[in-house]
Chain A
Amino acid sequence: MQNMLMGRYIPGDSIIHRMDPRSKLLVMIAFVVIIFLAHDWLGYLLLVLYTLAGVLLSKISVSYFLRGLRPMIGLILFTVIFQMLFTNGQHVIFSLWFIKISTESLINAVYIFFRFVLIIFMSTILTLTTPPLTLADGIEKGLGPLKKIKVPVHELGLMLSISLRFIPTLMDDTTMIMNAQKARGMDFGEGNLLKKIKSVIPILIPLFVSSFRRADDLAVAMESRGYQGGDGRTKYRQLKWQSRDSLLVVSIIIMTILLILWSKVS
């Protein structure tokens, strides 16, 4: 069940691993935006090279990235085939009944394919190279300016950290509950819609009960250690913005400028 998470952190000592989570988050969000600036093969080539550089610098096997694509294969193929069949083009290269495939539709399909793959790869780089709790710290720090408008940033960060910490534990609970129900003759996903809904209830209720118990235990543990909120608290994990993080941000700015200039020229 753990394998269902698209990007599980893989420990390493690459330059990407050592970067500040804020810079990685910033670049990933920027990348999702600038991918729409690419309109031709050169634009996509730039984006592919940028992503490839990230993959290589992370020193993580490509198989992990391909694994991240697995849940999306159906949707990607559907979208690519849709592009090929429904994009009208001048130069028809294949025609059968109502199906017409043109050079333009093929090129479009390739661009869409790369758009999906590159966004997923960039997201996967972020999650494979950043420990979940560091990521939560990065988000908390990133939301820092919202403190000025009385947003409880520390509390949000803490809740995010607790959630991330307990997802694997609750997954194990879910697996255990499902196995226990199967041993009692329960069939999941069998029968009509009503039966499927009914089959979910025996998983949900024990899962809620065990998570309420865990929440209670954790709250008692925190209170007994004197936790009283975010004011004046220091952090065990300190985030340090270094020159490599600035370089990463500069690299995405350069990419953006190049893509804007190229789209103006072409």
Chain B
Amino acid sequence: MSKTRRMVLIAMLAALSTILLLPILQFPLLPGIDFMKVELSIIPVLIGVFTLGLGDGFIILFIRSVLWYLLFNQGPSTWIGVPMNFVALGIFMAIVWFFTKKKFSIKNYTVGIVLATIASVLVMMVLNVFYALPLYRLAAGFDVDKIFAGATHLFNMGSLSVTLNPTYLLTVVLPFNALQYIIFALVFGLIVTVFKKNKVVKFYNA
């Protein structure tokens, strides 16, 4: 594949990924809980990883993050959420890629997905404790410790207060993220199956 084709495909997948951030293409995990929506913007990124390689997957993820800031900027939630999303999805796709780069089989894919989900959920929990929650507390005055009991104060970083709240982590962060990554895995698995069957695009390890 020529350099130009590669660049155009990266750009197109980044645009697709951005479109999948539209509210109309998201669906709530639980009816009525609007902020717990699943967006499938990682699917084009994963397709990029399996057609172009892991490095290009990260470029797609980066461009999509820049576009997210430019087109869907929703104040503090975007400024805090996008870097966290980048890290978690980056880890997820890197682990899936590592286990399936030699051969894309159901066994390899399942092992990759399980480990990637565990790693990404753990990273999300750590980022929530040390990054997101302290910043939300500062930026939006939103303190989950006032809703979920059992928080332990760890330390202060300047004007940021870092607390550990197991109740919130285990009842909100863990199930939501785990379910989200399982949905990603299912959708991507279905798409890969269809694409392979119809020879839509060449997956170089599938």
Say how far A106's CB is from chain B's closest CB, in angstroms: 12
A170 contacts B15, CB within 8 Å? yes
Q: Size class of A's contact patch?
A: 35 or more
| Cα–Cα distance between A126 and B66 once the two chains are bound (Å) | 14
| Cα–Cα distance between A222 and B3 once the two chains are bound (Å) | 11
A115 contacts B3, CB within 8 Å? no
Say how far B57's CB is from chain A's closest CB, in angstroms: 13
B23 contacts A166, CB within 8 Å? no
Chain A residues with CB under 8 A of B147: 86
Residue-wise, chain A 100-112 has the 8 Å CB interface mask toward B (1 for contact) of 0000000011011
A166 contacts B74, CB within 8 Å? no
Say how far B49's CB is from chain A's closest CB, in angstroms: 14
B142 beta carbon closer than 8 Å to chain A: yes
Chain B residues with CB under 8 A of A119: 73, 75-76, 79
Which of B85-93, B106-114, B182-190 lies on the face that meets chain A? B182-190
* Residue among A5, A72, A112, A163 making CB contact with B12, cutoff 8 Å: A163
CB within 8 Å of A: which residues of B? 2-5, 7-16, 18-19, 22-25, 27, 29, 34-35, 40, 43-44, 47, 59, 62-63, 66-67, 70-77, 79, 138-143, 146-147, 183, 186-187, 190-191, 194-195, 200-201
Most chain A C-beta atoms within 10 Å of own C-beta, residue among B7, B16, B34, B75? B75
CB within 8 Å of B: which residues of A? 1, 4-7, 32, 36, 71-72, 74-75, 79, 82-83, 86-87, 108-109, 111-112, 115-116, 119-120, 123-124, 126-127, 132, 135, 139, 155-156, 158-164, 166-167, 170-171, 174, 189, 193, 196-197, 200-201, 203-205, 207-209, 211-212, 214-216, 218-219, 222-223, 227-229
Number of inter-chain CB pairs below 8 Å = 182
Chain B residues with CB under 8 A of A228: 4
Indicate whether A208 sits within 8 Å of B40 (C-beta atoms), given known contacts A159-B7, A215-B9.
no
Say how far A38's CB is from chain B's closest CB, in angstroms: 12
| Cα–Cα distance between A134 and B201 once the two chains are bound (Å) | 32
| Cα–Cα distance between A158 and B43 once the two chains are bound (Å) | 22
| Cα–Cα distance between A237 and B79 once the two chains are bound (Å) | 29
Residue of A nearest to B69 (CB): A123
Complex A-B: 17 CB contacts under 8 Å = A4-B22, A6-B73, A36-B138, A71-B74, A79-B142, A116-B140, A119-B79, A120-B73, A135-B70, A158-B7, A159-B14, A160-B63, A162-B15, A167-B15, A212-B12, A219-B2, A219-B8
